[in-house]
A and B are shown apart, each in its own frame.
Chain A
């Protein structure tokens, strides 16, 4: 079975541009979470979606948005890119999305560089 897949794996943008990152969860998983990992730091929680509804949001500006589709895949959108948005963006999936009951599975991430 395929794990969590993310695309693109690497991308370069310039300041002010917009970016869309995509994530496909493990088959059967209904919840997707997004994390931002700046170089040299631990991942920071951005969003969690479960059954197409936002279940949690981290301390990120409104330039960050996300959505989940009926097939449970997800997109993370970032508008008006800043240099500080350069990071590895990790997607993680889980069976459920409410009370923590099981493992969170991570993808390999999308490396975003903003010039």
Chain B
């Protein structure tokens, strides 16, 4: 069975600094997608960044970047120049490339950005 593990229940960072959220996953598949989703207090889940497993290059989206280590099954999210609006729950998620839209989510990391 596929699993996604986020070992940091809570993290805190000073505004304008950099923070890294960790995620590991377990799968026997070779083709899959990995995601980081953000869930602010308003509850709507928003896609932050997506990584295709067949791509060696790490995905980046403005201040957000990932460190994808396929062999280690690790997928961490780096947030640079943290902003107060980054305060939210962050979920790591996985889906198979040939599946429907069934996402497997981790338990989440609560990030607090301090002013």
Contact = CB atoms under 8 A, between A and B. Distances in A.
B98 A43 contact: no
A42 B106 contact: yes
Interface in A52-79: 55-56, 58
A81 interface: no
Interface size class of B (residues with CB under 8 A): 20 to 34
B103 A108 contact: no
Given A103-B47, A108-B43, A108-B44, A42 B97 contact: no
Interface in B68-114: 91, 93, 95-108
Contact of B103 (A43, A50, A98): A43
B6 to A, nearest CB: 8
A106 B45 contact: yes
B100 A42 contact: no
B47 to A, nearest CB: 6
A41 B108 contact: yes
B100 A56 contact: yes
B56 interface: no
Interface residues of A, number: 29
Contact of A98 (B91, B100, B107): B100
A54 to B, nearest CB: 10
Given A42-B91, A43-B45, A103-B47, A92 B108 contact: no
B10 to A, nearest CB: 11
Contacts of A26: none
Interface of B: 4, 6, 33, 42-47, 50, 91, 93, 95-108
Interface of A: 3, 31, 33, 35, 40-45, 48, 50, 55-56, 58, 88, 90, 92, 94, 97-100, 103-104, 106-109
24 contacts: A31-B101, A33-B100, A40-B107, A42-B105, A43-B103, A48-B100, A48-B101, A50-B100, A55-B100, A56-B99, A88-B43, A92-B45, A97-B100, A98-B100, A99-B98, A100-B33, A100-B96, A100-B99, A100-B100, A104-B101, A104-B103, A106-B45, A106-B46, A108-B44
